[in-house]
Structure 1
Amino acid sequence: MELTAVRALGEELLARHGLTSWRFAFDNAKRRAGACKFDSRTISVSRHLMALYEEAHVQDTILHEIAHALVGPRHGHDAVWRAKARAIGCSGARLVDAEAPRAPAPWQGTCPRGHTYDRHRRPARPASCARCEPGFNADLLLTWTFHGRTVSPGPRYERELSRLLAGRRRRGLGSTGTPAGGQTDVTQSPAGGLSAASTAAAPGGTRAPEHDLMRELAVRGHLTPGTVVRITAPGKYFGRRVTIVKSARTRYHVRGGVERLTVPFAYVEPA
């Protein structure tokens, strides 16, 4: 529904139900449709969701909040509020209809097993897949895209991720350096599919899980400045150890001695 029409409808409904001292406004919420603010005597609705809703959904949202204003702040979504909502023509539903459109989330996290999570805000801390395992597990780390493009959530996120990986490495390796439990990860291949391939192996031919995780971070562009990596691109630089200076859109900027190079994410691996 056009926002100008939403505003006209909102102001008309407020006047119809005697809320002449209240005002109608838009807000930037993306998950909730509306709000009743008693302190400022304001009924506000999400500009993002209203633009996606049909008129019937818009009207129900506004009437939902008007019912709150009419019964007062002490009733919440109780029977008194529900009776008033239905009396003025609202459905009386506490939550937005599950079939109603939702604002697309710019951030999407994906676990190694394919589960996805949507976020409207930049992820502040590393997280693992709660559907696979309730506690944090670095083997099930979520990797993030922003509007479909693989990006880092930021320096603070990367610093915490580095600390988590360092702690995992200390806890996960026994005295001989063999991973506890001999666990093997899958990693994201340069072509974008899932692959168990890795160039590093722990003693006895078993890949080190922390190496696989670092390899996954490498090909997604998530390694932080200062990380030492090995170039795997064919040519004269193959096998060379370099240090990441920064991460660009599709390539790492690296330093090897006095030389500075750019290398696609797919052609580096943890040294």
Structure 2
Amino acid sequence: MPDPLDLIRADARAAMDAHGLTDWSFRFDAAVQRAGITRFDRKVISLSGPIMRRYAEEGATDEIRETLLHEIAHALAGHRHGHDATWRAIARRIGSSGRRTVAPEAPTIEPGWVGTCPAGHTLTRHRRPAGARSCSRCATTFDDRFLLTWTYRGRKLAVVGSRVRVTAPGRWSGAVGTVRRVAHTRYHLRVPGSAKFLTVPFEHVEEL
């Protein structure tokens, strides 16, 4: 099966060329909280790879097209116009709805991080929280009685120094190593036989 991002990339390139943006580039990025961005200084239209893939999986082809035309309209209008009447007129002329934001019913990327306090209150984040944090519903200022315990997609994470096993298929499947760093979505592991740290997604590591 073709990668849906390859198809979106081809459609984006064709649409940009059709609207005269032949000297602009297209790329995907890793954003999960916005669908697209127009970088005027670099002449780049960038769409969120995770969100576009989610749209493709859900069959939300209209949202893919809307996002692309939204950014093309920004490129055509220029950086001074934002979401003003000039931008809106261009957006509608090229086939966009002229909406400023993503439709409320559009598929979204669920936050991977969930913090739970002793009372059961939860807080979600797209990125790994930095440092200790207490529940704001239980205390208006930091209070270590109400520390949040974080999980990533339902998993409690191993800490630095823990011994773990790699469960991902491939050369290092079954390898045992030590956690040296916990990044946003991956562990950095020291594994015997590897000259460099292995970077392995959280879901493909089990703690021993």
Shared fold per TM-score greater than 0.5:
yes
**Larger relative contact order, structure 1 or 2 (CA cutoff 8 Å, min sep 6):** 2
Distance 1:80 1:127 in 2: 44
Correspondent of 1:141 among 142, 147, 164: 147
Compute the displacement of 1:146 (Å).
1.8
Contact 2:36 2:48 in 1 (8 A): yes
Alignment-mate amino acid for residue 127 of structure 2: R
Pair 1:104 & 2:110 matched: yes
Compute the displacement of 1:8 (Å).
1.5
Pair 1:47 & 2:49 matched: yes
Compute the displacement of 1:133 (Å).
4.7
Distance 1:148 1:17 in 2: 45
Contact 2:158 2:207 in 1 (8 A): no
Residue correspondence of structure 1 range 243-254 to structure 2 within 5 A: 249=207
RMSD across aligned positions (CA): 2.3
Correspondent of 2:37 among 35, 38, 44: 35
Pair 1:61 & 2:67 matched: yes
Max radius of gyration: which structure?
Answer: 1
Unaligned runs of 5+ in 1: 156-247, 251-271
Cα 1:92/1:136, change in 2 over 3 Å: farther
Q: Aligned pair count?
A: 158
Alignment-mate amino acid for residue 33 of structure 1: A
- Calculate percent identity across the aligned residue pairs: 49
Compute the displacement of 1:152 (Å).
6.0
Q: 2:16: which partner in 1?
A: 14
Alignment-mate amino acid for residue 102 of structure 1: T
Greater helix percent: which structure?
A: 1
Unaligned runs of 5+ in 2: 162-205
Length-normalised TM-score, structure 2? 0.67
Residue correspondence of structure 1 range 98-137 to structure 2 within 5 A: 98-137=104-143
Cα 1:146/1:10, change in 2 over 3 Å: same
Distance 2:140 2:80 in 1: 36
Alignment-mate amino acid for residue 22 of structure 2: T
Distance 1:153 1:29 in 2: 26
Contact 1:144 1:152 in 2 (8 A): no
SS at match of 1:117: strand
Q: Describe the superposition over 1:38-94 as per-residue Cα deviations: whole angstroms up to 9, x where unpaired.
A: 111111101111011121100100111111101111111222222222222212222
Alignment-mate amino acid for residue 8 of structure 1: A
